[in-house]
Every structure is written in C-alpha cells, then in structure tokens.
Amino acid sequence: MAGIKIYHLYPDHLNLYGDRGNMIALCRRAEWHNISIEVVPVRPGDKMAFSQCDLLFMGGGQDSDQQMVAEDLKKRSSELSSAVEDGMVIFAVCGSYQLLGSHYITGSGEKIGGLELINLYTEAGTKRLIGNAVINCSLWYPTKTLVGFENHAGKTYLGPGLKPLGQVMIGHGNNGTDKTEGAVYKNVIGTYLHGSLLPKNPWLTDFLLEKALAYRGQDFIPANLDDSLEEQAHNAFIKLAGSKKHKRMSTRA
C-alpha cells in the first residue's frame, strides 16, 4: 500500500476559519484512495525532520501567531528550503501563505521577516478583503474552479519566477487589484482561501496527495469515488458567490 507522512504545523495556533477541515479532507480521501497516511502534529519547539515529511500543512493564524511561527521556523529555514527544492509538498493558507515570502509589513509598520521560501511579499492594506471567492485554477488543463472564503488585510504581491494559483473570477485574491490568487512554486501552494478549502474542491485534495506520493517515488492510483456531494457543495458555493456579487453591483448602481 502506498503511504505518506503529513506534518500538521502548529495545529493549536494556525487554525482559523475551518482549516482543520483541510486535514480531515486529506485524511479521508487518502483512506478512500487506499493510501496509508500518518499525521504528525508539530508544536512550537518540537524536534522535527523535514526530510521525513511528504506534505506540510500550514493553516491560517493571527499576526501574533505568524511572528511566533516565523521565529520558530527560521531556525530550520535552510532545511525547509532544501526540502522545497527537492519537491516536498507544502499547502499553506492565509497567514501561513504570507509567511512563505520575504516579509510582511503590518498595519503599524512593523516588518515581520518571512521564511523566504518563495518570491513574494505582503503588506497590510487599509481595509479587509472579505467574502466568497471563485478562481480559475491554473494547475490543470483545461482549468478547474476553486471556491473558498477569504478574510485578510494583507495584500500579497508575487515576484518573478512565481505563478498564481489562479485568476480571480469572484472575490479579491492576493491584493484586490491584479486579479491573481495564491501562488505556486514547484510543489508549494499558498492561498488565501479558507472555508475550509479542500472539502469543496476534491480535485485539489487529490492533487496534493498525488504530488506527495510522487515525492517518494510512489504512484497515485485513484479509486473510482462518488464526488457528487462535493460537487454539489462546490456548485452551490459558486451560485451563492455569484448572487452576492450581483447584489453588490445592483446596490452600487
């Protein structure tokens, strides 16, 4: 049986807006695809070997949690960077997504240094970017949609060599202006989409599992799953997001 090890980074601190549901989705779909899975909760100060990790999950957190996480992980930044370059999978949401870059400038002007794993930076905006979001995701051809909920004051900007996870159809995305959402580098995926993201987007869950298996030289042999409930949830979310967008536009008119 194929198998992978998932590190769940700081589950007591990085757990906003249903991000634990992402772990549940990963575990359930791994089970349904006959993939053995070991989940290792990693807490501040724990000794860990990223060389043994196949998929690192990092949920969302407040600014204070980000600073704590950054300080703890910077001690391991060279090991993390090597694992990323070798192909380890990282799935990072919101505050953890911001942490992957060079720095985050808070609303008070404080500069929080990031892990410098991928080429992006974030600065606080003057208003929060909140609401349901739908993006056209570039991981597949033809493209698929991803749906989720975003709630962030940070505005993230991607540098050269980094591509977005997708283009915004409904919502704000990385910064509310350039219509990009998230970032992809090798097997690293960062996104602002909470809600939680993976249960409503099973194709992304399977994509992460497939990449984690490939990292260890294993094949992903998908089971013939009935995803009708997940697809209903996905489509209902798109319908809801679209109706709210139409309502806002009508109000402005």
Task: Give the closest residue to 215 by CA, choosing from 187, 188, 189.
Answer: 187
Residues whose CB is less than 8 angstroms from the CB of residue 124 and which lie 6 or more positions away in sequence, other chains included: 104, 105, 106, 107, 153, 154, 155
Task: Give the closest residue to 209 by CA, choosing from 195, 192, 189.
Answer: 189
User: Would you please indicate which residues are annotated as catalytic (active-site) residues?
Assistant: 94, 194
Show the tokens assigned to 36.
Answer: 């053995």
Q: What is the total residue count of the chain?
A: 253
Please give the Cα distance from 68 to 240 (Å, whole number): 36
